[in-house]
Amino acid sequence: MKIQILGVARTGTTNLALSIEKEGYTTILEPYGVNPKKNKTALVEKICVKNISNQFPIDKFKSAYDFQLENIPTFDKTILLDRKNELEHWKSYLNLLKKYHKDPKTTHTIWYEDDITSDWDRKMRNDGFYEVFKLQKETIKKLSNEFKIPITYYEDLFSEDRMYSFETINKWDLDIDPFNVNEYLDPSKRYKQIGKRSQFI
């Protein structure tokens, strides 16, 4: 089976891809991202590719949406990921940008509410990143409508109700053990921690 995980940044795409990797899949993370890696996958039967919804081969397509119109049909299953809570999503996106500017290796580490300042929020909006964020979300919605693929939400995957999250995963009907994937996506693995960093210093 060939699976694509396609989502807005900070919707659990990486953790989901890594959980599927544990099920015997060869995982490719963001082949059209900032630092793409060439992968020889022609002979691999079980592949899971993770893409962010604004990434695409810029030498061949005009937009990520146009690219995915051709890319999605090449997969047996595409999972679309987004978040319901746009404000909390934007905060997490701001944290991603902040960490990437400081040290790209720290983008998948924990963070706290007070790590994000109003000055950083304002700067990122002025630099056009909020428009990038909104475009990613809009692309997921458009592709969902085009291919009749329901959007899976971060809040459901990492729900405190683990039976509900299991049912969400099981509906994908993948060649995986949904119990194992559900265990890997436990809420404790969220990057954002409860409380403020100042409380722990």
At 42-85, the pLDDT tens digits run 457 899 999 999 999 999 999 999 999 999 999 999 999 999 99
pLDDT tens per residue, range 112-167? 888 889 999 999 999 999 999 999 999 999 999 999 999 999 999 999 999 999 99
Q: Which residue has the tokens 């919605």?
A: 141
Mean pLDDT, residues 27-44: 71
Closest CA to 74 of 41, 102, 106, 99: 41
Amino acid at site 45: E
- CATH code of 2-200, in short, is 3.40.50
User: Distance (Å, rounded) from C-alpha 154 to C-alpha 166?
Assistant: 13
Question: How far is it, in rounded angstroms, from Cα 26 to Cα 189?
Answer: 22
Dump strand ranges (E) for the chain.
2-7, 26-29, 47-52, 77-82, 151-153
Would you place residue 97 in the very low, low, confident or very high pLDDT band (cuts 50, 70, 90)?
very high
Query: Tokens 């690219």 map to which residue?
Result: 67
Q: What is the pTM of this model?
A: 0.88
